[in-house]
Amino acid sequence: MAEPATQPLSGDPAARVLVAGASGYTGALAAEIVWHHPRLELVAATSRSDAGRALTDLYPRYRAQIELTELDLDRLDGIDAAIVAYPHGAAAPTDAALRAAGALVVDLSADFRLRDAETYERWYGEHGAPELFGTGVYGLTELYREELREAKLVATPGCYPTASVLGLAPLAEKGLVAEVSISAMQGTSGYGRKNDDLVHFSSMTENAFPYKTEGHRHRPEIEQELAALGSPAPVAFVPHLLPLDQGEMATCFAKLAEPLDRDAVQALYRERYAGEPFVRVLDGPPNLRALRDTNECHVYVTVEEHGGAIAFGAIDNIWKGASGQGVQNLNLMLGLDETEGLK
């Protein structure tokens, strides 16, 4: 069986795309999505540690026929757009070089998510390209769609902020979220490809646990976005790691600024997300299997006995929580239909 040596493009590509950092989970998926995208041409997928290996050698379930190469920032001619899947801190200088070469940049790291420099430094340390700080558009598509159409540099949100903020947005936009406690959980792909005892199959099977209980850097990001929507609410946040690969759930206990009954809250959600191509408002709680390998976000909301709202946002953490949303935004930046290559 011969894989096609070239991508299945339909007509001239809308952009020639580079994926930087394609040996990790999110970079590899970004390369895989771009390869199958009918309007994007994958011109390079780079990796320092795995240069020379085929992507399908690292990820046998992917089908993109491309060999990983080392990134050469001096040879960016002909790159229209780049998806950068580097660690926090390392991404910003690469983004800067790519922008300088004229490429549109979709950054999957945290480097441009936060808009307050002090908060960034507290959680991530010194910024790698201070001159660009604050110039990225926050890539939570459903909230920043119009800005994204014009964007040159996009900060793809963290996976937990994506699930949490989409789960709370209809309330937050109305100023209704007074406080929120978020219990989130995700599979081991969210931990990354780094190998240590924690994610060895023998450690993780039949296990589950909270982590970063003294402070996770996605918390200030969630607070930033709830405030931007109109609800400057304090957020308590605890993530958990689960014995599954892809999938993430944010269970959000929200104190409401004013009393609302279940029907009213559910109507608000249905109305807010009507017509959204990737957000599905469910009639009951979501489950993770239903959205594995999709760019969807499933949302459900209810009101509990004592009047608090409980909102659930569920995603595939490496799709809508990272690479899928990255491509969704790149589509917008290029004037394409935002669902292209993602269904």
Phi-psi region of 174 (alpha: psi -120 to 50; beta: other; left: phi over 0): alpha
CA proximity to 315, closest of 262, 271, 278: 278
153-155 sheet: strands from edge to edge: 40-46, 15-20, 81-84, 104-107, 153-155, 137-138
Segment 218-237, which members bind its own copies (CB under 8 A)?
A: 219, 234-237
* Residue 297 a catalytic site member: no
Tell which one of 202, 258, 259, 263 touches its own copies (CB under 8 A): 202
d(C-alpha 314, C-alpha 297), whole Å = 6
187 binds its own copies (CB under 8 A): yes
Smaller CB separation from its own copies, 147 or 304: 304
Applying CB under 8 A, does 163 fall inside the site for its own copies?
Answer: no
Q: Binding marks (x or -) toward its own copies, 109..138, rule CB under 8 A? A: ------------------------------
Per CB under 8 A, does 285 bind its own copies? yes
Structure tokens at 275: 């017509």
Candidate segments 149-157, 224-232, 290-298, 321-329, binder of its own copies by CB under 8 A: 290-298
CB 13 within 8 Å of CB 37: no
Non-local CB neighbours of 46 within 8 Å, separated by 6+ positions: 18, 19, 20, 21, 22, 68, 69, 70, 71
Measured CA to CA in angstroms, residue 96 lies from 84, 109, 153, 163 at distances of 11, 14, 9, 28
* 209 lines the binding site for its own copies (CB under 8 A): yes
List helix spans (H) across 37-90.
55-58
Of 126, 150, 201, 258, the residue at the interface with its own copies (CB under 8 A) is 201
Residue 131 or 202: the one with the smaller Cβ distance to its own copies is: 202
Q: C-alpha distances in angstroms, 342 versus 97, 236, 337?
A: 28, 33, 10
- Please say which residue, 172 or 249, places its beta carbon nearer to its own copies: 249
- Write down the catalytic residue from 45, 103, 159, 254: 159
| C-alpha span between 92 and 114 (Å, rounded) | 13
Matching residue, tokens 């808009």: 115
Q: Tell me the closest approach of the beta carbon of residue 67 to its own copies, in angstroms.
A: 16
Residue 289 binds its own copies, judged by CB under 8 A: yes
* 275 binding its own copies? (CB under 8 A): yes
User: Binding pattern to its own copies, positions 18-57, x when CB under 8 A?
Assistant: -------x--------------------------------
| Residue linked to tokens 């239909």 | 337
Q: Which one among 55, 166, 249, 327 touches its own copies, defined by CB under 8 A?
A: 249
- The yes or no reply on residue 305 touching its own copies (CB under 8 A) is yes
Residue 184, amino acid: A
Nearer to its own copies, 75 or 287 (CB): 287
What distance in Å separates the CA atoms of residue 140 and residue 225, rounded to the nearest whole number? 10
Please state the φ and ψ torsions of residue 188, each to the nearest 5 degrees: -75, -15
Q: Which one among 144, 160, 269, 312 touches its own copies, defined by CB under 8 A?
A: 312
Q: How far apart are CA 237 and CA 13, in angstroms?
A: 42
Nearer to its own copies, 90 or 290 (CB): 290
- What is the smallest separation between the CB atom of 270 and its own copies, expressed in angstroms? 10
Residue 53 or 75 having the CB closest to its own copies: 53
Number of residues this chain uses to bind its own copies (CB under 8 A): 76
Enzyme catalytic residues: 159
